[in-house]
Amino acid sequence: MHPCLAALAEAVPRTGDAGADVTALLAYHGRADTVGHSMRVAAEAKRLARHWGEDAAGAETAGWLHDVSAIVPVEERIGLAGQLGLDVLPEERAFPMIMHQKLSAAIAQAVFGITDPAVLSAIGCHTTLKAGASPLDKIVFVADKMQWDQAGDAPYLRAITGAVERSLDQAVLVYLDYLWRQRATLSVVHPWLVQAYRQLSLNELRTPES
C-alpha cells in the first residue's frame, strides 16, 4: 500500500464488512456526514442490480465505497492523485472535487482490497460516467443521482425513478440531459460526461444540443 494511503487508513481495522469499515473510516476522519449518503447509494445500487440481473453484492460494495475519498480534503486531492500516479485531466485540476471518483477507486483497491475490475470501474466513474460504461457503472451512477447528498429531493427524481425501471440508459440520460441543459453554469464539464452523453444519445437516436 502506498504510504499516503496507509496514513489515511491508520487506526481503522478492516473487518471485511464494507459498510462497517467505510463507516468507521469516514467517522475516524471526521466525515460521518458522508455515511448516510453512502448507505443509501449502496442499498439503491443493490436493488437496481437485482432488478437488472447484475452483481448485487458488487453494486452494494461499490455504493459503500464510491465516496470514501471524502476523507481526503479537496485541496489535497490533486497532490495525492499525483503521488498515486493517477491520470489527472485539466478539468479535474481546475475543479479538484471531481477527482474524488478516481481517488475512491484507488482507496477501494489499496485499502479495502477490492480487486474486481467491474466494481472499481463503477466507483471510478460514478460522478461523470464514461463512454462504454458497463451496466454496473450505470447502476452505481444512477443510484448516486437518485440518492443525492443535497437537501430535499432531486429535481429530476420523479423522471429518473420511472425511467430506471424500464431502461438503464434512459435513466442515465435523464440525469445527463438535466446536467447538459445547465452546462454553462457548471464549474467544469468533464470530458468523460460529454463522451458518455454523446454515446448514449446516439444510441437513443438523439443528439445533444450544440
157 occurs within a structural domain? yes
Q: What percent of the chain has pLDDT over 90?
A: 85
What's residue 208's pLDDT?
46
Using 50, 70 and 90 to split pLDDT, how confident is the model at 134? very high
Q: Cα separation of 140 and 45, whole Å?
A: 6
208 occurs within a structural domain? no
| Number of independent structural domains in the chain | 1
198 occurs within a structural domain? yes
What's residue 47's pLDDT?
97
Query: Is residue 204 pLDDT above 80, yes or no?
Result: no
CATH code assigned at 117? 1.10.3210.10
Provide the residue range defining the domain that includes 28: 3-203
What's residue 146's pLDDT?
95
210 occurs within a structural domain? no
Q: Indicate if the alpha-carbon torsion angle 182, 183, 188, 189 is positive or negative.
A: positive
Angle at alpha carbon of residue 107, lines to 103 and 113, rounded to 5°: 145
101 occurs within a structural domain? yes
Ranking 5-14, 46-55, 89-98, 187-196 by mean pLDDT, the lowest is 5-14
Query: Is residue 209 pLDDT above 70, yes or no?
Result: no
Query: Residue 87: how many CB atoms within 10 A of its CB?
Result: 7
209 occurs within a structural domain? no
